[in-house]
Amino acid sequence: MAERDAAGAGGIEAERGSDSPDSDSDSENGGTSGESEMDFLRNLLSRTLGLGSEKPEKVLDELTLDGVSRFMQSEKCRNVVCLVGAGISTSAGIPDFRSPGTGLYANLQSYNLPYPEAIFEINYFKQHPEPFFALARELYPGQFKPTVCHYFIRLLKEKGLLLRCYTQNIDTLERVAGLDQEDLVEAHGTFFTSHCLRSSCRKQYTLDWMKEKIFSTVTPKCDKCQSLVKPDIVFFGESLPRRFFTLMQSDFQKVDLLIIMGTSLQVQPFASLVSRVPTNTPRLLINKEKTGQSDPFMSLMGLSTGMDFDSEKAYRDVAWLGECDEGCTALAELLGWKKELEELVKKEHSAIDAKSGQAGEAGASPSPPRAGATASPSTPPAKPGSSTQKESDAGSKAE
């Protein structure tokens, strides 16, 4: 569902991994991660200060959506990486967290929480899991349909252009739209699987198993050891999946185009991914507002690492402002894919409606068309005062 918001996390991000049930000490992996981080920092410093390198090559003929579309149709563009957040799912009817009056946090009074964010804190969940599962049951509708944006990413895959889609969302709509696990890095986890929280057990459970428990009055317990079972979404106090840290080391060495959609780019370490691409890699932002831009103070010091859309030095970053679905449709039209995209959306939505109708006729609650579909609450937005999670720490934890 919604991506993790940028408001901060009250220091919980810094604690991530310290009490995670699947945390372990992997010194070998940690060392490798540390070396990779040092290389990244050296390269980043060298690029921002212009040390030992020539001026980056300008690969777009103009800094517009048209320029991006022409680049995508050239031989230079073979590997596209997408970074996506809450904005690609809002048109599917998935609620956000902080909208006054309608956001999730504004409607949690009935759960008697010490503070709204507690419902997504791992330590609180271990002691009081009932509010989370009650909320999941309340928000779990019969179905959700992927958006135009989701199906545009699928088209990138079908055209042989998609290297990877990194998502902050846990609604699994990318899977529903037709992306496979290999196509995805679900940075903040997923409802697709669940695990027993006992470190000596860690038995895995399916989406269907968890869905059945969510709609019952029984708190999900492991049938092997009777410990609590939790969906594999990343709560405050847990580490990010190892897959995130492993694949970013290789993916961002060979990406030819980075497309960022529907994300604030303020939650770390996800936000740092925009700075990992080569200096001549174009970056397209499709969002309601510009984000991920350089800090003015850092820019004055010559240490700009964010995106640059407007300055005289801008050479690779393009911003298309508006709804993500509209931006993807506009890009698809420039690529000559608009009709194909519209037909794909129509076909897939019809299939979802048909399956939902069959489930209703059978007297069962409608279920998603693929095993990965769900609409339970997302990994929550961070709380004020958050400190950045250290990638090398979280990267050494087991999934």
SS3 call for 270:
helix
Rounded Cα distance between 364 and 182, Å, is 31
Rounded Cα distance between 313 and 58, Å, is 11
Catalytic residue among 128, 188, 195, 349: 188
Strands (E), the chain: 80-84, 162-167, 184-186, 189-196, 204-206, 229-233, 257-261, 283-287, 317-321
CA distances in angstroms from 154 to 210, 335, 338, listed in the order given: 27, 15, 13
Rounded Cα distance between 274 and 292, Å, is 8
Q: Degrees (nearest 5) of the Cα angle 294, 297, 300? A: 90
Instruction: Say which residues have a Cβ less than 8 Å from residue 318's Cβ, sequence separation at least 6.
Output: 60, 63, 64, 65, 67, 68, 282, 283, 284, 285, 309
CA distances in angstroms from 303 to 112, 299, 300, listed in the order given: 46, 5, 7
List the structure tokens of 19: 């009490």
Q: Which amino acid type is present at position 388?
A: T
Rounded Cα distance between 308 and 314, Å, is 5
- 131 preceded by a cis bond (ω within 30 of 0): no
| Secondary structure letter of residue 364 according to DSSP | S
Rounded Cα distance between 319 and 322, Å, is 10
Rounded Cα distance between 61 and 396, Å, is 41
Residue 149 annotated as lining a ligand binding site: no
Rounded Cα distance between 14 and 8, Å, is 11
Alpha helices in 130-237 (DSSP H): 130-139, 148-158, 173-176, 207-214
Please state the separation of Cα 157 from the chain's center in Å: 17
Rounded Cα distance between 277 and 253, Å, is 6
Residue 82 annotated as lining a ligand binding site: no
Residue 328 annotated as lining a ligand binding site: no
Q: Is 188 a catalytic residue?
A: yes
Catalytic residue annotation: 188
For the annotated binding site for Zn(2+), the residues are 196, 201, 222, 225
